[in-house]
Amino acid sequence: MTFYRKLILAALILTLGVVSLGAYVRLSDAGLGCPDWPGCYGALTPHHAADAINAELEVRPEGPVSHAKAWKEMVHRYFAGTLGLLVLAIAWLAWRGRRETQGGPGLPLLLLGLIVFQALLGMWTVTQLLKPLVVSTHLLGGMATLSLLLWLWLRERGQASHAYFANVEHLRRASGVGLVLVVIQIALGGWVSTNYSALACTDFPLCQGSWVPTMDFEHGFTLHRALGETATGELLPMAALTAIHWTHRLMALVLTLYLGWLVVRVLRTPGYAGMGLVILGLLTLQVSLGISNVLFSLPLAVAVAHNTGAALLLGSLVWLNFKVRRR
């Protein structure tokens, strides 16, 4: 099953790339670079759709469609499509060799179902015109794919470390809570990004010069609505964008304090010091990138790195949870 494990690792690395590419597409306003799905104006590549793109540019020169944006969107789709084929191969190999795998074909088949759902979300992202709920769910689906592939890879590697046999009872519940908090923060971060509220507060640590600025939580966290609009079709007020941004900041503080406490417990557990340092390093990086996004007005490279860092922090908590539950 060596090839099987290598295939899982390849899919895992590719998933991290797809998540980062998705962030790059979203943050560079290229989500509607090709306004149909799965092709680009019915063509395989933007090169073959050049005439249609040029016609759209003549009508709306500053619109969401351009040659550069079309290529960004399609490259993301090509990578996502390749990932889908890899997961299909993993599921097939797991089913064929189900007596030789560490845990049977259940998890690979679940991954295959998730990939199919992700493809549908990718289509709805375009057809629903970047509806925040759809785009945020698509982001969470990518993070779930990354987490499940990491768990599968760790499972197929077997229990190679003596650290599995350390006394980790005190870490099980704490690491599980940490993982849940990271997922919640990623969901809030996705909501910030898909509602374009990252710069609703341009100062730090204050927000609009206040610890508690004017906020509209009702409209900010109404899920079923179009991008930039309230549920009734009115323009989304600034107070709603502020509520989204401020909530993400507040949760970042809660998460930082909790993971800081968790890291101390992990560092004190024999055989787990390395894991604790990894989590601490990724947490420090994420906090620094988040503050930099505000202070430097959301540089594209920093914003994409913040999304990638979230995926890596999530992965570190998945790894920790695997270790303390599979000792």
Asked if 151 contacts 322 with a C-beta cutoff of 8 angstroms, the reply is: yes
| 236: DSSP letter | P
Separation between Cα atoms, residue 263 and residue 171, nearest integer Å: 10
Q: Is 229 a catalytic residue?
A: no
Kindly give the interhelix angle for 132-157 and 300-325, rounded to the nearest 10 degrees. 40
CA–CA gap between residue 34 and residue 72 (Å, rounded): 9
For the purposes of burial, counting CB atoms within 10 Å of the CB of 46, is it exposed (0-12), middle (13-18) or buried (19 or more)? buried
For 44-73, give the secondary structure using H, E and C. CCCCCCHHHHHHHHHHCCCCCCCHHHHHHH
HSE-CB at 119 with a 13 A cutoff on CA atoms is 16
Picking from 140, 143, 141, 122, the residue whose alpha carbon sits closest to that of residue 131 is 122
Which three-class secondary structure string do you get for 300-315? HHHHHHHHHHHHHHHH
Catalytic residue among 58, 62, 73, 169, which? 73
Residues 6 or more apart in contact with residue 72 via CB below 8 angstroms: 24, 25, 28, 30, 33
**CA-CA distance, 161 to 98, in Å (whole number)?**
24
**What does the alpha-carbon distance between residue 316 and residue 284 come to, in Å, rounded to a whole number?**
13
Longest dimension (CA), the chain: 67
Sign, CA torsion 196/233/126/123:
positive
Residue 212 DSSP SS3: coil
Structure tokens at 70: 């079309």
- Write out the catalytic residue numbers: 73
